Amino acid sequence: MRLLSYNIHKGIGGRDRRYQLHRIIDVIEHENPDIICLQEVDHNVKRSKFDHQPELLQEYFGYQAADFQWNHKVKSGGYGNYVLSRYPFHQVSHVCLKLIHRKKRGAQVVWIDSPEGEFVLVNMHLGLAEKQRQNQVSHLFTQKEYRQHEDLPALIVGDFNDWRNQLSKGQFEPHGFTQVTRPPSRFRSFPAYLPMGALDKAFIKGKIQIHEARVVRSPLTHVASDHLPLVIDFHLKAAPH
């Protein structure tokens, strides 16, 4: 199975500042993922020509299941997280990660029924301050939306804004998660045109086996967004006989 995680920056190029959603679509299509996890997806905002990006992406890819989570409002529109999947969803929950008085962030908790078995996927976008990010991850792990699926294999991906790679040992390892995207030097994803920070990460728990994890570097990905996409090829390990 293949998963792609991508902060699409509302379809606006990180360097040329042009809105061209077709570049994002071409990047995703080239990787042909089974599950697409996006951050900063716009709906009804002037900068992206008032497009309903979740609807446009669903129409183009035609995947079986989709879910959009509003995060930040902009007048009559805004942006958020979006998950598309070739496999059906058993359940979807939204966890608000807005703590104190900062920009609203969120996490989608999706129970997926894949051909290899059931697992939980979390697509999230964390804040800019280190202590805020730590609190957001800790908050997620206390929520019933996550805890009711703790017995299932879990894959957590997204834009973590974690420049110093502090979350792995501090918040994820105590909850049984292993970081897939390490060493950070191999997974630099921001800014796309000259990657310096490994901000887009993946963590796993349970019977998930990683075949390959990579950041997609190409002439198109260097201009389509301000982040590079992350691709994870994985399997669910068969239960022992």
pLDDT tens digits for 157-208?
999 999 999 999 999 999 999 999 999 999 999 999 999 999 999 999 999 9
Instruction: Kindly list the domain boundaries of the chain, sorted by start residue.
Output: 2-236
Q: For the residues 22-28, what does the mean pLDDT come to?
A: 98
Within 8 A by CB and 6+ apart from 154, the residues are 119, 120, 121, 122, 177, 204, 205, 206, 208
Banded pLDDT at 32 (limits 50, 70, 90): very high
Looking at residue 99, its pLDDT comes to 80
Looking at residue 144, its pLDDT comes to 95
135 CB-contact burial (10 Å; exposed 0-12 / middle 13-18 / buried 19+): middle
Cα–Cα distance, 118 to 164 (Å, whole number): 32
Banded pLDDT at 104 (limits 50, 70, 90): confident
Banded pLDDT at 239 (limits 50, 70, 90): low
Looking at residue 72, its pLDDT comes to 81
Cα–Cα distance, 182 to 164 (Å, whole number): 12
With a cut of 80, say whether residue 240 has pLDDT above it: no
What SS3 state is found at 28? helix
- Name the strand (E) or helix (H) holding 93: strand 89-96
Q: What is the pLDDT of residues 198-227, one digit of tens each?
A: 999 999 999 999 999 999 999 999 999 999
Q: Is the sign of the CA dihedral 205, 184, 71, 64 positive or negative?
A: negative
Name the percent of the chain lying above pLDDT 70: 98
Could you name the CATH architecture of 2-236?
A: 4-Layer Sandwich (3.60)
Looking at residue 110, its pLDDT comes to 98
With a cut of 70, say whether residue 122 has pLDDT above it: yes
Looking at residue 101, its pLDDT comes to 62
Quote the pTM value: 0.96
Q: What is the pLDDT of residues 61-88, one digit of tens each?
A: 999 999 999 988 878 888 999 999 999 9
